[in-house]
Structure 1
Amino acid sequence: MKINLSGHHVDVTDTVKQHVDEKFAKIASHFPTLISLDIIIAKEHGEYDVEIRTNYEGTRIAAKGTDLVMYPAITSAAKKLDAALKHRKGQLKADLHEKPDVTAPEIAYEKVQEMDLSK
């Protein structure tokens, strides 16, 4: 998985890149069809905003995390992205399964047929 990491009023150092790689290694293993992530780390008014965007199975998915410290903001955004990807994967899996047919027992059907409902 390719990670495009950029900073807005933030220096993206090797330690930040390493932390991002560690946080998104689990996501990469759980979602092997995920090709790339676009991550923007910005500092606005003393808070770090981490925004993540990606395409997964034909749907654009985004997650955002904020915190006063950069590393918890990255962790928060990673957790939100993981939850959104799991939700999308669940939607895709649910569409593949056949819906069960609701059938009434024959006994109940026969009793309804015997009843005189015209009264």
Structure 2
Amino acid sequence: MKINLSGHHVDVTDTVKEDVSAKFTKIASHFPTLISLDIIISKEHGEFEVEITTNYEGSRIAAKASDPVMYPALSSAGKKLDAALKHRKGQLKADLHAKPEVTAPEIAYERVQEMDLK
């Protein structure tokens, strides 16, 4: 899985890159069709904001978190992304199950037509 990491008013060092790749390897193993993650770390008004976006099975999924410290913000955004991906995976699995066929109840009009009302 490719991770595109960028920072806005934040220096993205090698340790940050290593931490991000370590956090998201578990997500990559759970969702093998996930191709890439776009992660933006920004700092505004003394808080770190982490925004993660990806495309998974035809839909765009995003997660966002903020915290005064960068690493808890990364962790929180990762948990939200994992939950969103699990939700989407569940929706896709539910579509594969056979739906029960609806049996239409007899319509009263048809029953009246069958009756001999003379």
Same fold, TM exceeding 0.5?
Answer: yes
The residue type paired with residue 76 of structure 2 is S
Q: Equivalent residue for 1:39?
A: 39
TM-score by length of 2: 0.84
Count the aligned residue pairs: 103
State how far apart, in whole Å, the 1-side matches of 2:16 and 2:92 are: 33
What is the CA distance between 1:68 and its match in structure 2? 0.4
What residue in structure 2 maps to residue 114 of structure 1? none
TM-score (norm 1): 0.84
Q: CA deviation at 1:100?
A: 3.3
C-alpha distance in 1, partners of 2:18/2:43?
A: 19
Name the aligned partner's letter for residue 13 of structure 2.
Answer: T
**Which stretches of structure 1, 4 residues or more, deviate above 4 A after TM superposition?**
none
Task: Quote the offset at 1:99 in angstroms.
Answer: 1.7
Which runs of 5 or more structure 1 residues have no equivalent in the other structure? 104-119
Tell me the distance in 2 between the aligned counterparts of 1:5 and 1:65.
Answer: 15
Provide the residue aligned with 2:100 in structure 1: 100
Q: Distance in 1 between matches of 2:69 and 2:22?
A: 17
Question: What's the CA shift for 1:101?
Answer: 4.8
1:5-61 CA-to-partner distances (Å, cap 9, x unmatched) read 000000000110011011101100000000000000000000000000000000000
The secondary structure found in structure 1 opposite 2:54 is strand
Query: Which stretches in structure 2 are left out of the alignment for 5+ residues?
Result: 104-118
Is residue 25 of structure 1 aligned with residue 25 of structure 2? yes
- Structure 1 equivalent of residue 71 of structure 2: 71
User: 1:102 Cα deviation (Å)?
Assistant: 7.2
Matches within 5 A, 1:80-99: 80-99=80-99
Share of identical aligned residues, percent?
Answer: 83
SS in structure 2 of the partner of residue 62 of structure 1: strand
Report the residue type matching 1:73 in the other structure. A
